Amino acid sequence: MHPIDGVTCIQGDLYDQEVLDQLPVADVVLSDAAPKTTGDSRDQYKSYLISVRALEIALLRLKKEGSFIVKIFQGEDFDAYLAEVRKHFDFVKCTKPPTSRNESKEIYIVAMGFRGREEGYESYKRLLEGD
């Protein structure tokens, strides 16, 4: 990646603690991550898992009023994921890039106005723990 003034870009594994330790508190968390695709329904689920991790990182690292942008493949878990994003942000919109093929399940969620790290992450942890 080419450097951009005022932007910290970190490229690495979302599950690697060393990568996570590099992440500063941020105004924006952007995840364009996607699984290696095979053309079957597992692609959507793998995308969902990556998106869940991206949201977890956003809830831990975003400044209040910050923004979160994430790519996800629409599938059976999409509506629940979108509902979870809406719990933590004032404005949420889904958009499909014009360059994306019509049959593609790829969509981006743009969320702005993060409501706050503490309440957001605690709510999210309860969801993951099944409380």
Please give the structure tokens belonging to residue 121: 């992450």
Catalytic site positions: 71
Asked whether the CA dihedral 113, 68, 102, 83 is positive or negative, the reply is negative
* Beta carbons within 8 Å of 101's beta carbon, 6+ residues apart: none
Q: Phi and psi (nearest 5°) for 100?
A: -75, 140
Please give the structure tokens belonging to residue 25: 């508190």
Query: 106 pairs with which residues across the strands?
Result: 73
CA angle, corner 118, sides to 19 and 112, nearest 5?
Answer: 75
